[in-house]
């Protein structure tokens, strides 16, 4: 029997990295910590701010609140209309900054055009309530590799790699994407685990050639199926962060020609989700890969819950 992760041509035909299973493990480990906090002090509390009517944002916020309810975290939802001004939004959110019953604050992005997002986040979300791990203190401590809450999506990916016993030290990792939310923190987390890391972006020359050097390839570009078989080294571990909705029938048929269930879902719903990597190439060339959906997505919410509990423990127990 071949080893699960050998990073070689012989290891083609990827193992599915099940984000739902890892999510359930993480949430299961959080429950006794939440119960202990509730007995000694109170339940951890997360405030979620939703501005406007973005359908995707509503779904994401609903998922986060549902996760809170399932494991015993108190959630507080604050909403504001699409046409709210920066000053009006600040005044509405100002009470959160003084509410000592709130351990963590999340402002759902993107905010509507016309709102100064940087001003809102920096003035409302103090470092000790920065559950997303996007603030200057969190990012600075990540650069220095000092303890703090980490950005949820890359932290979840690191948990997945660890729990699937995928070796990182000494491996070549390529991160395609340089966002402050995923790409940059992902690269730093891999670097801290002794991977040799390359960050690629929109101006990278010979992108396919760079990606093909990766033992661990993280795709966080935000473009549907942009990475193809030409970008994947046979036997690589492929982590697909992308969540892109495809609505063109010809493109769906091209991407999912060998997946009747996905084609049927498209006929029913008029769209399907695809990551940043061509699904067939990812399945056939990788030694392990994250499916879309069901891979990285569930981990983001799991790590949001973990960060909430960690912040609550610091506030209530230290």
Residues with catalytic roles: 64, 108, 132
**Exposed/middle/buried for residue 70 (C-beta within 10 Å: 0-12, 13-18, 19+):** exposed
Sheet holding 196-200, edge to edge: 15-16, 288-289, 237-240, 216-219, 172-176, 196-200
Dihedral sign for Cα atoms in the order 64, 66, 72, 77: positive
Q: Which of 16, 290, 316 is nearest to 154 (CA)?
A: 290
- Beta strands 237-240 and 216-219, pairing class: parallel
Count CB neighbours of 187 within 10 A. Answer: 22
SS3 120: helix
Cβ proximity of 234 and 290 under 8 Å: no
Q: Are 123 and 310 in contact (CB under 8 A)?
A: no
Distance CA 281, CA 83 (A): 44
Q: Which of 165, 183, 162, 163 is CA-nearest to residue 174?
A: 183
Burial of 65 (0-12, 13-18, 19+ CB in 10 A): middle
């Amino acid at each position: 029997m071949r080893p699960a992760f050998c990073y070689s041509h012989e290891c083609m035909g990827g193992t599915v990295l099940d984000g739902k299973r890892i999510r359930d493990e993480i949430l299961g480990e959080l429950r006794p910590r939440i119960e202990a906090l509730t007995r000694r002090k109170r339940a951890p509390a997360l405030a979620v701010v939703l501005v406007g009517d973005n359908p995707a944002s509503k779904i994401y916020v609903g998922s986060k609140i549902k996760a809170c309810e399932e494991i015993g975290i108190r959630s507080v939802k604050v909403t504001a209309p699409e046409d709210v001004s920066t000053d009006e939004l600040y005044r509405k959110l100002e009470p959160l900054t003084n509410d000592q019953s709130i351990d963590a604050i999340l402002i759902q992005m993107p905010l509507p055009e016309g709102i100064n997002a940087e001003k809102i986040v920096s003035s409302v979300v103090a470092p000790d309530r920065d559950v997303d791990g996007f603030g200057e203190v969190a990012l600075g401590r990540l650069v220095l590799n000092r303890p703090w809450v980490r950005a949820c999506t890359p932290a979840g990916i690191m948990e997945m790699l660890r729990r699937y016993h995928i070796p990182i030290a000494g491996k070549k990792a390529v991160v395609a994407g340089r966002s402050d939310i995923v790409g940059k923190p992902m690269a730093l987390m891999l670097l801290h685990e002794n991977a040799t890391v390359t960050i690629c972006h929109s101006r990278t020359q010979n992108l396919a050639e760079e990606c093909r050097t990766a033992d661990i390839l993280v795709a966080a570009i935000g473009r549907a199926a942009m990475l193809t078989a030409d970008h994947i080294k046979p036997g690589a571990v492929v982590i697909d962060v992308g969540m892109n909705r495809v609505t063109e029938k010809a493109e769906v048929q091209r991407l999912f020609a060998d997946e009747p269930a996905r084609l049927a879902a498209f006929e029913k719903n008029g769209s399907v989700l695809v990551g940043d990597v061509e699904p067939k190439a990812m399945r056939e060339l990788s030694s392990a890969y994250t499916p879309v959906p069901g891979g990285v997505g569930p981990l983001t919410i799991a790590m949001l819950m973990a960060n909430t509990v960690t912040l609550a423990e610091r506030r209530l127990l230290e």
